[in-house]
A and B are shown apart, each in its own frame.
Chain A
Amino acid sequence: MPNAGAAESRLEREIVLSAEGLTKRFGKREAVSGVSFDVRAGEVFGFLGPNGAGKTTTIRMLVGLARPDAGRVRIRGLDLARDFERAMAHVGSIVEAPDLYKYLTGRENLLHFSRMLPPGAAERIEELASLVALSERLDDRVSAYSLGMRQRLGIAQALLGNPDILILDEPANGLDPAGIREIRQLVRRLAGERGIAVFVSSHLLSEIEQMCDRVAIIHRGRTLAAAPVAELLERVASDVVRVRARPAQRAAEILAAFGPTEIEPEGAADAVAARVPPEKVPEALRRLLAAGVDVYSVERPVPSLEEIFLEITGGETV
């Protein structure tokens, strides 16, 4: 998990990937408008946005699949448009789905892509296979792999060239919870142990929150300045507290002293939603207990992406 020490030393680390004012138009519609950010060595950078916000279009520009109409991508200082081969030698990526050759085995796929890299990549195949826990299935055809195995083979493929930056587009899509946890641990290890910069896109805040050091939010083709995840959450933290307590009626009366309160209508009969400023929560709890109310849980609901974006931009662009 991210911590303060990492945040401080990050500033001295090298910028591996930088997007400068990326813009992409499809006809009259501007799918991506002036997107800029830097990703530094050893950090996991989250790129968060709802589906259709321009995430995949941005990623396609980052890896040279699409040409930006304006702006540019630099990888370790190399201009992607002008120095494609040298720049891409530092990048490993999975764009959208981990699509590999299904009629080839895992090993044949890795050999295939190692031939597109400088000599020596093929010698890493065994090591990478064990890193992504695929050693035993490496000689099976990819058509027999589960989605999670394909995702891991895709990551092994992306790591073949010893990249400085790994770009993963929605790596958790379609995976079961165990698969998601494996990917998350792998990403943290790659950043922590190997110092690789990892760029991860997602439409789920919870996923980004658990995996990333910093996050940029994209909405309708525009991004907000990247910030550490905790800071971002702090900025938008709602002061609504959800309390499960019995009797709910009595709890609502007590909490009403701190702000507007309501008993949640259906589903959870014992839940009360109340606006309580964060610093007043302990006092509110003491009063509930003193009044003989049984408290089962207290939580702060995570705001939705849409809410975060509205909160930060003040709603001006929406």
Chain B
Amino acid sequence: MRFPGLVENEILKISKQRRFRVVVLILVVLIGLIVFAQSRGRERFRRGKDWRVQTQERMAQIQNWLRDGRMPAASQRWARFELGRLQYHLERNMDPEAISGPLFARGFANAASYLLLPLLAIVFASDIVSGEFQQGTIKILLTRPVRRSRVLASKLAALLLAITLTVLFGGAVAYALGGIAYGYAGWDAPVLTGFRVAGQSFDPAGIREIVLWKETILVYGLAWFAALCVGAIALLTSVVLRSTAASMGTMLAALIAGTILPRLAPSWDAQKYLFVTNLPLPDYYSGSPPPIPGLTVGFGAAVLAAWALAATAAAFAVFARRDVLA
């Protein structure tokens, strides 16, 4: 009857299922592995060399590649961007690869935004309606004096909460484990953001300096938003397919296609209207070159929001009307 009670029910069900513990475990193990691998890799990478020398060496290498002329167009854009970025840091006497616990935590949001966090959102969302069908409990759930739209709304609310907690927990684990390797200090370090490529050359006009903790909040906000939108879309597949495995498989295929497509077919312009292309919002914000020219944070967020709203509307329409016969 009371809506908070319904949401409480859904949270109870999510938290008592094994998948909840699995998600927690995935985050801890995966982040731990990344921290370990990265810190080992850096030891070898640096070999006691001065970072200035190393940066210059890297720039020379990239320039060689560019001169070579055999690079595909997408990589060329990346190379010019990287060159400009290194140059910019060098001029300001800043180590472009410097890392700290807070920086690692921020970097985690960038890296996790287009695969890991959406994946975890899918793990929760895929089951939230289809699980009731598979267990047969949908027959009780929908024969209680609560309208179907309210039942689904309570599930949506619990799902958004679970995704939010997952993003926050991921950030906390990244900071905690990253801090072990790189130290916990450095939240107020200045970071440079807004690197971009204009036409053929690196364009420094958009570069801004921002305090790391502010940028971290922004980046997590974007990763969170992207994960919520994926959750909303996965809710639709869960409602329509009524099978957790089918729903999860469909969403996974979409995610994987989204990471492959820009590389295989970078010239197909219309893919910027797909939701998967727009998941790396934090990257677009920090200024990594977008896979398709012309993608911005605002555009990406708008596309994601449109997908999420349409999927939610469709999920409610289907859920409220369809006969439960299985």
Contact status A91-B143, CB under 8 Å: yes
Bound complex: CA A65 to CA B13 (Å): 22
A56 shortest CB reach to chain B, Å: 9
Bound complex: CA A284 to CA B12 (Å): 69
**Interface-side segment among B88-96, B133-141, B160-168, B288-296:** B133-141
B8 cross-chain contacts in A, Cβ below 8 A: 115
Q: Which of B274-326 contact A (CB under 8 A)?
A: 321, 323-325
Residue of B nearest to A92 (CB): B143
**Interface-side segment among A95-103, A237-245, A301-309:** A95-103
A96 cross-chain contacts in B, Cβ below 8 A: 136, 139
Q: What is the number of residues of chain A that contact chain B, defined by CB distance less than 8 Å?
A: 34
Partner of B12, one of A88, A91, A108: A108
Residue of A nearest to B16 (CB): A103
A118 cross-chain contacts in B, Cβ below 8 A: 1, 145
Contact status B144-A60, CB under 8 Å: no
A224 cross-chain contacts in B, Cβ below 8 A: none
Contact status B142-A65, CB under 8 Å: yes
Q: Which of B1-19 contact A (CB under 8 A)?
A: 1-2, 5-6, 8-9, 12-13, 16-18
Given contacts A64-B142, A91-B143, A119-B1, contact A99 B137 (CB under 8 A): yes
Per-residue CB proximity of B117-144 to A under 8 Å, as 1/0? 0000000000000000001110111111
Residue of B nearest to A122 (CB): B5
Bound complex: CA A66 to CA B9 (Å): 24
B100 shortest CB reach to chain A, Å: 42
Residue of B nearest to A114 (CB): B5
Per-residue CB proximity of A35-78 to B under 8 Å, as 1/0? 00000000000000000000001001001111100000000000
Contact status B16-A99, CB under 8 Å: no
Given contacts A65-B143, A115-B8, 17 further A-B contacts (CB under 8 A): A60-B323, A65-B139, A65-B324, A66-B323, A66-B324, A85-B146, A88-B145, A89-B145, A91-B143, A99-B140, A101-B137, A116-B1, A116-B145, A118-B145, A119-B1, A161-B144, A161-B145
Residue ranges of A at the interface with B (Cβ–Cβ < 8 Å)? 57, 60, 63-67, 84-89, 91, 93, 95-97, 99-104, 108, 112-113, 115-119, 157, 161
Q: List 29 A-B contacts (CB under 8 A).
A: A63-B143, A64-B143, A67-B321, A84-B145, A85-B146, A93-B140, A93-B143, A95-B143, A99-B135, A99-B136, A99-B139, A99-B140, A100-B137, A101-B137, A102-B135, A103-B16, A103-B17, A103-B18, A104-B12, A104-B13, A108-B12, A112-B9, A115-B5, A115-B9, A116-B5, A116-B9, A116-B141, A117-B145, A161-B145
